[in-house]
Amino acid sequence: MSSSLSDHRTHSAIHSLAADQAGQELQGGRDDGDAVALDGETLSRANVFAIAKGLRACYIPDASWERVRASRDRVEVHVTAGDVVYGVTTGFGKLSDVNIAGDDVEQLQVNLIRSHAVGTGDPFPTDVVRAMLVLRANALAKGYSGIRPETLQLLVDMVNHGVHPVIPSQGSLGASGDLAPLAHMALVLMGEGRAEYQGHVIGGGEALRAAGLQPVRLRAKEGLALINGTQAMSGVAVATVTEAERLGLWADAAACLTMEALRGIISAFDPALLATRPHREQEEVAARVRSRLQGSQRVTHQGDLRVQDAYSLRCVPQVHGASWQAWKYADDRLAVEVNSATDNPIVLEDGRILSGGQFHGQPIAIAMDLLKVAAAEWANISERRIERLVNPQLSGLPPFLATNAGLESGLMITQYVAAALVSENKVLAHPASVDSIPSSANQEDHVSMGTIAARQARQVVHNALRVIAIELICASQALYLDKAENDLSEASRRTLEFVRSFAPPLNTDASVSDAIAALADALQSSVELP
């Protein structure tokens, strides 16, 4: 269940994890080592991603525990008084008008989790599952959910001990929370369902025991508090936004290497020119390109070889910049979401328990749909640069970058592969958030499909990374055939060295399929560009 582009199986080394790395189990408000505080207010995407990858542990700070206990006390007051509270002393959804007897309040929560855990499809990757656990714990730590401290602590312990519920990836409408996915998560807290522990999928109760943990018996409101939230879509979004940032930076770097290979015109990136249309992101892209190409003897100026480049080179600041604008919007929305209470009902500090729509995933759904388009565009323009590299009528280089064209096909089919990937992205980029199917006997008559949008966005990003890998390989081969390595900028030489560690120059036909996959994996995981 790894998030690697080429490996979707669990790596047990990842799952020894944060508890071992932190040195000991994290309890209560104790901050050991490099652990991340889950206080419901300050959690960053970067820290969620680090915990999701097993690089850091997490804990609940003392101030948050005080809010959690106070919130729980408010729930107990209402339960003791026999007040009518949605999901506490009533049924759910369309059944909210059915009153629940006091003796059945706890069984109601257990039944909720069991009945809602009906997801289907392949399990979420491990990094997404870990992000879901972290994000749900962080939302509960805000103190608006009425969860008991021991239930919240078990969520944190599961993260730090590497107990990962097996959560099917399909089945959420993205409103009323990610009900089905989060119910599968909650099953394991109850000692039911299935979980992965140290590379093996076993029963949820067995996984907890193996990690030295004990399941909880859910009390009033706790089942609802665990599943009414946007943590499935947000968990996918954390990984997607992080990987999309790397995609965007590598798209800029790939464009630079192609500029070197095709002797692109740097004049189009002049800061005075860009300032006449002052979109900040396009100026940032142009500045990165100028910096990476500084010192190059390959790039040209307007009129040296030609007056204008094709759009796929000349319009890099405008196209890449627009994608960066969309990325920043998605990142901003996610920053709010990861520190939000997405329950229903919400336990307010004044003692009221109010029903609302805080669980609705529309903000993330639209953000992920927008990110799909942004990532698809990074790939679209990259594929056009690939075509310019392999097409002799456009490049002036040997046909398809072959050393003996005709007898050899060179990198001809890499452009086919890139074309297939960008075409697939165009289908995936259709917005999920404009769709809605009513549920719960039309009580829940508008839903976000945000989890679908997030899942599709991550696939688009992964496809786009493969396209960028192909462009880098083609640009590398073009520079090899043109014997131009010594004329590159320092940054381009570093990029070229990085690419060739996965895809050495071709002197005859050979499959580069494995090289594309390995390089795409490296682009996805690289924190800094060479």
Fold assignment, 12-229: Fumarase C; Chain B, domain 1 (1.10.275)
For 344, the 3-state DSSP assignment is coil
Please indicate whether residue 144 is annotated as part of the active site: no
Catalytic residue among 86, 144, 197, 480: 86
Please compute the mean of the pLDDT values over residues 277-295 and round it to a whole number.
98
Least confident range of 31-35, 199-203, 260-264? 31-35
pLDDT digits (tens, 9 = 90+) for 109-119: 999 999 999 99
pLDDT at 8 over 80: no
Burial 500-512 (b: 16+ CB within 10 A, else e): bebbeebeeeeeb
pLDDT digits (tens, 9 = 90+) for 496-518: 999 999 999 999 999 999 999 99
505: CB partners within 8 A, 6+ apart = 476, 477, 480
- Note the pLDDT of residue 78: 85
pLDDT at 26 over 50: no
pLDDT at 75 over 50: yes
pLDDT digits (tens, 9 = 90+) for 104-144: 888 889 999 999 999 999 999 999 999 999 999 999 999 99
Q: Which amino acid is at 187?
A: L
- Note the pLDDT of residue 30: 34
User: Considering the chain, what is the average pLDDT of its residues?
Assistant: 91
pLDDT at 355 over 90: no
390 token code pair: 């392999």
- Note the pLDDT of residue 177: 82
pLDDT at 245 over 70: yes
pLDDT digits (tens, 9 = 90+) for 373-427: 999 999 999 999 999 999 999 999 999 999 999 999 999 999 999 999 999 999 9
Please compute the mean of the pLDDT values over residues 342-353 and round it to a whole number.
89
Spatial separation of the C-alpha atoms in residues 457 and 370, rounded to whole Å: 9
Is residue 329 classed exposed, middle or buried when 0-12, 13-18 and 19+ CB atoms within 10 A define those classes? Answer: middle
Is residue 97 classed exposed, middle or buried when 0-12, 13-18 and 19+ CB atoms within 10 A define those classes? Answer: exposed
**Could you tell me what percent of the chain has a pLDDT over 90?**
78
Spatial separation of the C-alpha atoms in residues 108 and 223, rounded to whole Å: 8
pLDDT at 463 over 60: yes
pLDDT at 318 over 90: yes
- Note the pLDDT of residue 33: 65
CATH architecture under which domain 238-251+329-525 falls? Up-down Bundle (1.20)
Enter the pTM of the model: 0.91
CA distances from 365 to 6, 47, 61, 179, 449 (A): 27, 22, 31, 16, 7
Least confident range of 371-385, 412-426, 433-447, 470-484? 433-447
In the block, tokens 């590159």 appear at 488
Spatial separation of the C-alpha atoms in residues 318 and 275, rounded to whole Å: 12
Q: Does the fold of domain 238-251+329-525 match that of domain 12-229?
A: no
Spatial separation of the C-alpha atoms in residues 311 and 324, rounded to whole Å: 18
Spatial separation of the C-alpha atoms in residues 276 and 321, rounded to whole Å: 15
Please compute the mean of the pLDDT values over residues 322-348 and round it to a whole number.
95
CA distances from 124 to 58, 127, 380 (A): 21, 8, 27
Q: Which H or E element spans position 332? A: helix 316-337
For 37, the 3-state DSSP assignment is strand
- Note the pLDDT of residue 186: 97
47 token code pair: 């820290």
Least confident range of 88-97, 151-160, 175-184, 458-467? 88-97
111: CB partners within 8 A, 6+ apart = none
In the block, tokens 């404009």 appear at 434
C-beta of residue 132 within 8 angstroms of C-beta of residue 167: yes
Domain spans of the chain, in order of start = 12-229, 238-251+329-525
> Between 101 and 523, where is the model more confident?
523
* Whole-number CA gyration radius for the chain: 26
